[in-house]
A = this chain, B = another copy of it.
Amino acid sequence: MAERIYLYDSTLRDGAQAQGIDFSVADKQAIAAALDAFGIDYIEGGWPGANPTDDAFFGALPKTKTAKISAFGMTRRAGRSASNDPGLQDLLAVNTPTVCLVGKSWDWQVETALKVSTSENLRMISDSLAHIRANGREAVFDAEHFFDGYKANPTYAIEALKAAHEGGANWLVLCDTNGGSMPSEVYRIVSAVKAALPDANLGIHCHNDTEQAVANSLAAVEAGVRQVQGCINGIGERCGNANLIAIIPTLMLKMGYDTGLTPEQLTHIGELSRLVDDRLNRAPNRHAAYVGSSAFAHKGGLHVSAMNKDSRSYEHIDPALVGNSRLILVSDKAGRSNIVNRLHQMGIEVADDDDHIGELVKAVKEREALGYAYEDASASFELMARERLGQLPRYYELQSYRALNEYRLDAKGRAFDVAEATVKLVVKGEQVMSVAEGNGPVNALDAALRKALTPHYPQLNAMHLNDYKVRILTPSDATAALTRVMIESRDDQGRTWNTLGVSHNVIDASYNALYDAITYHLLKAGV
């Protein structure tokens, strides 16, 4: 039996420390749901009491299938009891199964930054962890600056771990807080900790300041650590945290560990990676290990002919193991079977040799080259497929729209702005015009469309917009760039669907995404 390594994701807590990262509550909920669906063991959701977003997240704890939600905080303050510490009270109040407390293990930090005695710091650690355990929670101790602390004073660093262990901590996590350690150092120091605390469960938490966070995490596993903390896509402060997306396949495929994930679950790791990028409105890194779109791409002519002889020539693993695919060998046949599988999953009847399949493969390739991304907008994909297969009704015909946005000063010199849209449609043979205002041109257009359509399709009253995202696909052209709009809609039963539009014009891209959202809703409502 392979040994079990536990995966602890800190995307929503330490990842959120990064410059440019600003998760909303909805982002946090969506990422937590994806982490749970993928099969991560622990989801660190944030720091209760630290900011309104984290409070809202913990205020409505997501129901998970298998993952444990962890709340992060710090050991009690000096000079008060754990049960009277407001921070620990906040942490316990949110009722997560797991609580992670950070505490200091570098004597110099204790004296300089914390300004308490080294012995009081040890009591703060053991009291706080004991208090968490006494309240029936699983307790994780993050030993901040552990490697720097160990290098400066190994005795004290080990004492800090022992204090947590004696307090009852379930996990002692060794943190390379400044990210400056080398894999050989991590291996040596973890081995020493393992010898000093043979019955403790150890974890590792690395930062990427020398581009070695993945290697440091794996060196720690080789030395005996059994919990790995990290973030999706390696996001995090400065140079980022250890990248779980790179660590997980190596643990399973190269080192032979059990991560609790089945081989089938591992094939969804690219989707998890892209979901986080989408929430951050970032383009995925196509050179990312295992999941990047170029990770198994072959350009050199020599490589390609060798690849055709045997893929081991230039591939370290079979890309299918991580749900990825070889770029040069994406034959029409492979593309075809993918598309047929997807259509069947959507309940669309189609023969394997239907002539339309080839056209559809071609259309998807052309559109994805333009910047469409159907894997994130399956409603738009389904509509495009149904249209080509002659299975899509047209609920209305657009004749024209106009969106106007005006800013001016009123008679008293106060600025005001107004957005107004008009639409002209043919619905069920009848020409309809309507006009509406909104908080901007897209909102006004949405309102005008609904005003024109709802009398004919009252089902639209049950359709709501959940999310609206804009991404510029060719940033070097700046405001003249190609724009991709993705819309997430939901109905009264809470079902959601995603549609997209791509255009040089953000209004036009938005209209196309709105059109698909409306069409999909009416189709699923059986109209």
Contact = CB atoms under 8 A, between A and B. Distances in A.
Interface of A: 17-20, 22, 24, 26, 51, 108-109, 112-113, 145, 148, 177-180, 182-184, 187, 208-212, 214-216, 218-219, 222, 234, 237-240, 243, 246, 249-250, 254-255, 281, 283, 286-290, 292, 294-300, 303, 306, 309-310, 312-317, 327, 329, 332-333, 373, 375-376, 398-409, 417, 419, 438-443, 446, 464-476, 478-481, 483, 487-488, 503-508, 510-511
Nearest to A246: B211
A26 B474 CA distance: 9
* Across the A-B interface, the 6 shortest Cβ-Cβ residue pairs: A180-B316, A465-B478, A215-B215, A400-B408, A440-B505, A470-B470
A243 B211 contact: yes
Given A183-B219, A209-B289, A404-B404, A506 B442 contact: yes
A375 B281 CA distance: 17
A46 to B, nearest CB: 13
Contacts of A487: 478
A18 B182 contact: no
A19 B294 contact: yes
A112 B475 contact: no
23 contacts: A18-B299, A20-B375, A26-B475, A113-B306, A113-B310, A182-B254, A183-B215, A184-B222, A208-B287, A209-B289, A209-B316, A210-B246, A210-B250, A215-B215, A281-B469, A404-B404, A407-B507, A419-B505, A438-B480, A440-B507, A464-B478, A465-B479, A467-B475
A255 B184 CA distance: 11
Contacts of A287: 18, 208, 238-240
A299 B418 CA distance: 37
A216 B183 CA distance: 10
A399 B17 CA distance: 40
A468 B476 contact: no
Given A329-B19, A471-B281, A439 B401 contact: no
Contacts of A209: 289-290, 295, 316
B215 A440 contact: no
Nearest to A209: B316
A420 B381 CA distance: 32
Nearest to A254: B182
Contacts of A292: 238-239
B438 A479 contact: yes
A231 to B, nearest CB: 12
Interface centre among A209, A332, A403 (most CB of B within 10 A): A209
Contacts of A467: 472, 475, 478
B289 A474 contact: no
A240 to B, nearest CB: 5
A94 B289 CA distance: 36
A399 B480 CA distance: 25
Contacts of A218: 182-183, 212
Contacts of A22: 373
A400 B314 CA distance: 58
Interface centre among A254, A438, A440 (most CB of B within 10 A): A440
